[in-house]
A and B are shown apart, each in its own frame.
Chain A
Amino acid sequence: MVPLSWYLGLSALLFTIGAVGVFIKRNAITIFLCIELMLNAVNLTLVSLSGFFGDVGGQLFVFIVMTVAAAEAAVGLAIIISIFRNRESLNVDEVDTLKL
């Protein structure tokens, strides 16, 4: 039996990788993947804690997060494609027309 702390450590690691990726990457798709990574790190936390406490609520919540993530992926990818069509680039630093 793997102790709980390993699960939590792994998810913290994955979350940090995701967060750092969002910080340092410029490619929109990469950032998007990093966000997914963070979401799934949280999912892992929820599932492991659910098992630890014997409460099925955590697992149910994961399903909801996955659903939202799927929807978000659809919308996000559509936006990314639209940006690419307009700008021929996926560099987020260049997408700055909303600033003054």
Chain B
Amino acid sequence: MLAGIILAPLAGAAILGLFGKRMGERLIGLIACSTVAVSAFLSFYLFFQHRTSLEHGEKFYQYLFTWISVGSFRADASLLLDSLSGIYILFITFVGFWIHVFATGYMRGDKGYWRFFAYMNLFMFSMLTLVLADNFLMMFVGWEGVGLCSYLLIGYYFLKDFANDAAKKAFVVNRIGDFGFALGVMLLFSKAGSIFYFDDSSRGIHGAFNWAMAQASDPLGWSAISAGGITTIAVLLFVGATGKSAQIPLYVWLPDAMAGPTPVSALIHAATMVTAGVYMVARASSIYTHAPTAMLIVAIIGAATALFAATIGLAQWDIKKVLAYSTISQLGYMFLACGVGAFGAGIFHVFTHAFFKALLFLGSGSVIIGMHHEQDMRRMGGLKKYMPATFATMFVGWLAISGVPLLSGFFSKDEILFSSFTTDVLPGWWPTLLWAIGAITALLTAVYMTRLMVLTFWGREKSQSAETAPVAHSTASDSQHHARHPHESPPSMVLPLVVLAIGAALAGYLGVPEGLSGGKIPNYFERLLEPSISRPGQTAHGAEMTTATPRPNEAAGESTHLSAAEDQSLEFKLTLISSIIAILGIGLGWVWFNRKPLWQPPRLLEQKYYVDEIYDAAVVQPIKQGSTGVLWKIVDVHIIDGAVNGAGHLASMLGGAMRYVQSGLARSYVAVLVLGALLIIGYFVVR
């Protein structure tokens, strides 16, 4: 059954990849959507069938075959369903299915229709493998698989240079992260002797996490990073996460990845693939909880990325770029949650984010199609009238991501802010600082999303008078705008928007913070995840971390922890603050971006802090110069080619000397022969 979840999309990819070229668009769409539907159905069936067992922390394995078994190293092709992977497969297959449906409309008439859906199905297979794997090597297979599909889909319009460049950039940057991830797994194996997650007695394997649980936690300090212990493992794994999940310093590929078709941006670069890093960190939570330094790094990087990307998002003109930076910022939020030990809150944000960000991306796709492939927001405006369904659904997404109370984004974001304020993992003033950064980011999020909505849907129609507008970067600037009105999208695109809008509105109710209901309604999401992830122990910087204890709230009463009642009233206050922030942000954005001469963002922001330029100067150019000046002109031409040509030259010189032996006189050969024979005989005689 579990295998069916991952094999269905693989079968779809194989069929479409091999025979899709001769199929019609309807058949291709049907195959692509139905294979994902099968996996979605199986996921839902399995999850709800085993729901109570999953809540109690039971794990379901499906062993397929032993992949590698060398010495003490063993890696199985085997799948694991627990509550963490269960939640992931639910939203991956659900959101994935609706994005596939949307794509059948969005990609209509494209020449590579079959190719697109073959890649999409292959992506679903890889992503589900990543999530359902029960050891790090299988996870790495999925990890690389999604990277490959991401590369293929970003470079989908391979005739365009910018798409190819973006695809290469994504691949190379991801490779840096993957390198760290692979090193982390290797180090983990050398320390723990296993790459499996958990013990499984039926197969006689020991889990790396069981090893991690038995370790004393590393002390907090920078020296722990290079000590080669559990902190080093955690930091190396996090390097992988920064690549895949677009965190500082490896986030640069994600904005460029918007060169791919919009459904790809929605599925891969917003809802699923980029959250793989968060999944991995949450999965390895028992390693992270024993490495406080790594936790601090995760939290700092997460918070910094959240703020940094949000400020850039304020100043972008391309509608998809705004959403891309918003995604980076929200991913930062998720890592912030993981870093302060609230892995459950991070995963909850992944879950709600998948809905509203997929919705916003698909909505922007609908806008782009409606505007005849226009992505520059300066040329949009007044679309409310022409695209009511898109407007209504994006409206919900907008409120959800801004954190307006009672929508999904509000609950998950609030949970993260609360956790970072009250965390006992980090020392000193860190919690307050991180909370403040998170709150400012929440404000900025509301502002830039309001900007996007105002510029796109409200205001004057600019599509007709676009000649005067400055054109920065639009993909189809071949003046298609006159005589063509914006139009609403077909039903196959509107329906997924509606479904996701409902999801974006309601997904948050799975995890209502306990403070809001006065502790009457338990946070179902947290309770479900509880057995799958590890929590930091009560003593934050002590030597003994008793991670096995169920949860700090229940074990409260210790001096370090707030009592439940205080906890709830504090949570209530913080919730109030973040609600005010959300409303304030929307109001601010509304006033700010409705002004007549449009606010011109500072160049520093519009140019994304010149990070690409800095990377180019600091990394790309030195490598290029070194490769050309040293490796090519000196090492290759003189040393490598010199050796090869030298060998040839030597042979021809020797041959030139030896040619005089070949006189062509048969009798001279005989003379040499006889002389040689005489010499040999003479040697034996004399000796």
Contact = CB atoms under 8 A, between A and B. Distances in A.
Interface string A63-83: 000000000000000000000
Nearest to B673: A22
B664 to A, nearest CB: 3
Contact of B666 (A24, A92, A100): A92
Contacts of B663: 96, 99
Interface string B531-544: 00000000000000
B682 to A, nearest CB: 15
A97 interface: yes
A22 B664 contact: no
B662 A93 contact: no
Contacts of A97: 664
Contacts of A22: 667, 670
B686 interface: no
Given A19-B674, A23-B671, A99 B666 contact: no
A23 B664 contact: no
B665 interface: yes
A98 B665 contact: no
Contacts of B664: 96-99
Nearest to B666: A92
B659 interface: yes
A97 B662 CA distance: 11
B interface majority secondary structure: helix
A11 to B, nearest CB: 15
With a 10 A CB-CB cut-off, give which of B662, B663, B664 has the most chain A CB atoms. Answer: B664
Nearest to A96: B664
B212 to A, nearest CB: 75
A98 B659 CA distance: 11
Contacts of A23: 667, 670-671, 674
Interface string B649-685: 0000000000100111111001100100000000000
A19 B666 CA distance: 13
Contacts of B662: 98-100
A23 B667 CA distance: 6
A23 B674 CA distance: 10
A26 B670 CA distance: 12
A22 B659 CA distance: 24
Nearest to B677: A19
A56 interface: no
Contacts of B674: 19, 23
Contacts of B665: 92-93, 96
Nearest to B662: A99
A95 interface: yes
A10 B2 CA distance: 95
Nearest to A95: B666
A95 B667 CA distance: 11
A92 B666 CA distance: 6
Interface in B625-662: 659, 662
Contacts of B659: 100
Contacts of B666: 31, 92-93, 95
B658 to A, nearest CB: 10
A31 B671 CA distance: 13
B361 to A, nearest CB: 75
A39 to B, nearest CB: 14
A59 to B, nearest CB: 24
A95 B671 CA distance: 17
Interface string B316-354: 000000000000000000000000000000000000000
A23 to B, nearest CB: 6
A19 B670 CA distance: 9
A26 B663 CA distance: 16
B571 to A, nearest CB: 96
A3 to B, nearest CB: 22
Which interface residue of B662, B663, B667 has the most chain A CB atoms within 10 A? B667
A97 B664 CA distance: 7
Nearest to B661: A99
Nearest to B659: A100
Nearest to A34: B670
Nearest to A99: B664
A19 B671 CA distance: 9
A75 to B, nearest CB: 16
Contacts of A92: 665-667
Interface string A1-43: 0000000000000000001001110100001000000000000
B659 to A, nearest CB: 5
A88 B125 CA distance: 80
Interface in B371-429: none
B675 to A, nearest CB: 11
A45 B334 CA distance: 99
Nearest to B663: A99
A84 B664 CA distance: 18
A79 B663 CA distance: 20
Nearest to B670: A22
A67 B119 CA distance: 73
Contacts of A100: 659, 662
Contacts of A19: 674
Contacts of B667: 22-24, 26, 92-93
A97 B665 CA distance: 10
A31 B670 CA distance: 11
Interface in B261-305: none
Contacts of A31: 666
Nearest to A25: B667
A23 B670 CA distance: 7
A98 B662 CA distance: 8
Interface string B519-556: 00000000000000000000000000000000000000
Contacts of A26: 667
Nearest to A97: B664
Contacts of B670: 22-23
A82 to B, nearest CB: 15
A26 B664 CA distance: 14
A14 to B, nearest CB: 15
A99 B663 CA distance: 6
Given A24-B667, A96-B665, A99-B664, 11 more contacts: A19-B674, A22-B667, A23-B670, A31-B666, A93-B666, A93-B667, A95-B666, A97-B664, A99-B662, A99-B663, A100-B662
28 contacts: A19-B674, A22-B667, A22-B670, A23-B667, A23-B670, A23-B671, A23-B674, A24-B667, A26-B667, A31-B666, A92-B665, A92-B666, A92-B667, A93-B665, A93-B666, A93-B667, A95-B666, A96-B663, A96-B664, A96-B665, A97-B664, A98-B662, A98-B664, A99-B662, A99-B663, A99-B664, A100-B659, A100-B662
| Those 6 A-B pairs whose CB atoms lie nearest each other, nearest first | A99-B664, A96-B664, A92-B666, A100-B659, A99-B662, A22-B670
